[in-house]
Amino acid sequence: MPLFEGQHVVIVGAGKSGLAAARLVARHGAKVTINDAQPEAQAAALIAAAKEIGAECVLGDHPEDLFSSADCLVLSPGVPPLASVDAAMARGVRVLPEIDLAAQFLDGTTVGITGSNGKSTVTTLVGEMARRGARPSFMGGNLGDALTLAADTAAAGPDGLVVAELSSFQLERASQLRCHVAACLNVTDDHLDRHGTFAAYAAAKGRIFAMQRRGDHAVVPAGDALCEGLARAGLGTLHTFGGTTGEVRVIDGALVDLVSGLRVAVPELKLRGLHNQSNACAAALLARLAGIGAEAIAEVLRSFEGLPHRMVHVRDLDGVAYFDDSKATNVGAAAAALDGLGELPGRVVLIAGGVDKGGTYAPLRARMETAGRALVLIGAAAPLIRAAFEGSDVPVEDCATLEAAIAASRRRATPGDAVLLAPACASFDMFRSYAHRGDEFQRLVRALPEGV
């Protein structure tokens, strides 16, 4: 068990992960300082939380002298690269990303899931499968509870099972979190505003495999050369899902695990969309490799209806289906959402736009030229997306508000079509979060009168 007794630990970044880390090291005897860039005048809630923990606060900037005089720095995932952190490392200060701090308290089996798209759905599926098993379990990380909250619980013990969603922000500096079962579901353009290049972003995702040891399991989609290359750089045994060669894949209308004999007919799955069939295959494989029984896996596959704002069927109106996939905050996710609607009789009117995250909109254009009725744009990235559709036959319309975009989409859709909110962008230009954006979409769609 790691010892922090008497050490000065500086927590950098005071979001939910930072505060959870502060509470953990304080319980283990550390003198804690919480450091955050927000100004003191706007940090009343943070100051109160620090007082409850017994921690000091240093707010407004990230002082090099504070960092260099600490025994240990714990970095929250949202903290960007900082020169003051590099200077502290050069002076020999121990630096731990939040997930590496958590790793020191985890003695059981850890399942880690990363990827540009689908990781929250797969994490929740595996977490629910674990919950139905006989072992103590915990689900969290980038989704839900901070990973450090697993420490000091039964799930962290030798017989426990921890299921963690891991983002590129969490993984980019990590070196100590061993995932006995690790998955990278896909890598598409995302967070290039943080990582700079696609190669750097992919390398951050690949850290999940680099920390594995012999006897561990590395899970990737069948036929994905990039993900397979990332997995083969580690020591885990390679396993694949989906496609025509995966250990768990769809065969003759059923999800089949060729190793365990699990078989669930596709119509029994509550999750909508072809991409969610792939997510279900990944979850079933991860769960089996983590030691979860086939009965629990099958029960969850037959009952899980999906997460909020992830391909939620809001309503049908005048023969048109309306879907909320506000969680599609990058181009790959929006493209997957369009693929998932491939069985519809009509075409798709797509509402997209928000804050650009870097990368190309070419995959979106390719999908829309095959399946699209029209593209309706909102938000700051609208000019960039419009430029990407220059010369395309897909009609493009700009709208100032989400309400106007829904009205425009309704005018353009015909019976058999779908109106899909899959923005391919972050939400913060117009909304508090992707959830706020999705809530507003659902509220406005449900308020539409019939037959107008």
Domain harbouring 229, CATH code? 3.40.1190.10
> Which CATH number is 344's domain given?
3.90.190.20
Q: Coil, strand, or helix at residue 34?
A: strand
pLDDT tens, the chain, 452 aa long:
457 999 999 999 999 999 999 999 999 999 999 999 999 999 999 999 999 999 999 999 999 999 999 999 999 998 988 999 999 999 999 999 999 999 999 999 999 999 999 999 999 999 999 999 889 999 999 999 999 999 989 999 999 999 999 999 999 999 999 999 999 999 986 665 666 799 999 999 999 999 999 999 999 999 999 999 999 999 999 999 999 999 999 999 999 999 999 999 999 998 878 889 999 999 999 999 999 999 999 999 999 999 899 999 999 999 999 999 999 999 988 998 999 888 789 999 999 999 998 889 999 999 999 999 999 999 999 999 999 999 999 999 999 999 999 999 999 999 999 999 999 999 999 999 999 999 999 999 999 999 76
Q: Which of 374, 371, 368 is nearest to 412 (CA)?
A: 374
Whether the CB-CB separation of 295 and 313 falls below 8 Å is answered with no
Whether the CB-CB separation of 257 and 264 falls below 8 Å is answered with no
Residue 437 falls inside a structural domain: yes
* 248-251: strand order across its sheet: 137-141, 161-165, 109-114, 181-184, 217-221, 237-241, 248-251, 254-257, 263-265
Q: What is the DSSP letter of 79?
A: P
CB atoms within 10 A of CB 315: 12
If asked whether residues 140 and 218 sit together in one domain, one would say yes
Of 98, 127, 160, which one is at a domain's C-terminal end? 98
* Residue-number span of the structural domain to which 73 is assigned: 8-98
Instruction: Tell me what pLDDT residue 358 has.
Output: 84
Of 303, 328, 353, which one is at a domain's C-terminal end? 303
> Which CATH number is 19's domain given?
3.40.50.720
Residue 452 falls inside a structural domain: no
If asked whether residues 288 and 144 sit together in one domain, one would say yes
If asked whether residues 426 and 380 sit together in one domain, one would say yes
Instruction: Tell me what pLDDT residue 190 has.
Output: 65
First to last CA, the chain: 66
Residue 1 falls inside a structural domain: no
What phi and psi values does residue 426 have, to the nearest 5 degrees?
-70, 170
Residue 2 falls inside a structural domain: no
If asked whether residues 231 and 115 sit together in one domain, one would say yes
Query: Pick the catalytic residue: 28, 191, 239, 309?
Result: 191
CA-CA-CA-CA torsion sign (37, 41, 46, 50): positive
What phi and psi values does residue 280 have, to the nearest 5 degrees?
-65, -40
And the tokens for 448?
């539409």
Q: Which of 173, 149, 120, 174 is nearest to 18 (CA)?
A: 149
If asked whether residues 404 and 386 sit together in one domain, one would say yes
Query: Pick the catalytic residue: 35, 142, 186, 279?
Result: 142
Instruction: Tell me what pLDDT residue 345 has.
Output: 92
Q: Catalytic: 51?
A: no
How many structural domains compose the chain? 3
Q: Catalytic: 142?
A: yes
If asked whether residues 256 and 125 sit together in one domain, one would say yes
If asked whether residues 374 and 291 sit together in one domain, one would say no
Residue 58 falls inside a structural domain: yes
If asked whether residues 35 and 145 sit together in one domain, one would say no
Residue 451 falls inside a structural domain: no
* Rounded Cα gap, residues 243 and 204, in angstroms: 25
* Rounded Cα gap, residues 290 and 180, in angstroms: 8
If asked whether residues 278 and 382 sit together in one domain, one would say no
What are the respective helix, strand and coil percentages of the chain, to the nearest 5?
A: 40, 20, 40
Q: Coil, strand, or helix at residue 306?
A: coil
Query: Pick the catalytic residue: 119, 205, 217, 309?
Result: 119
Q: What is the DSSP letter of 293?
A: -
> In this structure, which long-range contacts are made by residues 307-311, counting pairs with CB atoms below 8 Å and at least 24 apart in sequence?
307/120, 307/121, 307/124, 308/435, 308/438, 309/434, 309/435, 309/437, 309/438, 309/439, 310/120, 310/121, 311/271, 311/272, 311/273, 311/276, 311/337, 311/340
Any idea which residue has 């940090």 for tokens? 43
Instruction: Tell me what pLDDT residue 342 has.
Output: 82
Of 303, 333, 359, which one is at a domain's C-terminal end? 303
Q: Catalytic: 186?
A: no
Residue 236 falls inside a structural domain: yes
If asked whether residues 235 and 128 sit together in one domain, one would say yes
If asked whether residues 317 and 230 sit together in one domain, one would say no
Q: What is the DSSP letter of 355?
A: B
Determine the Cα angle at 364 with ends 285 and 386, to 5°: 155
* Rounded Cα gap, residues 406 and 401, in angstroms: 9
Pairing status of strand 263-265 against strand 254-257: antiparallel
What phi and psi values does residue 96 have, to the nearest 5 degrees?
-125, 120
Residue 353 falls inside a structural domain: yes
If asked whether residues 281 and 375 sit together in one domain, one would say no
Instruction: Tell me what pLDDT residue 189 has.
Output: 63
* Rounded Cα gap, residues 252 and 229, in angstroms: 30
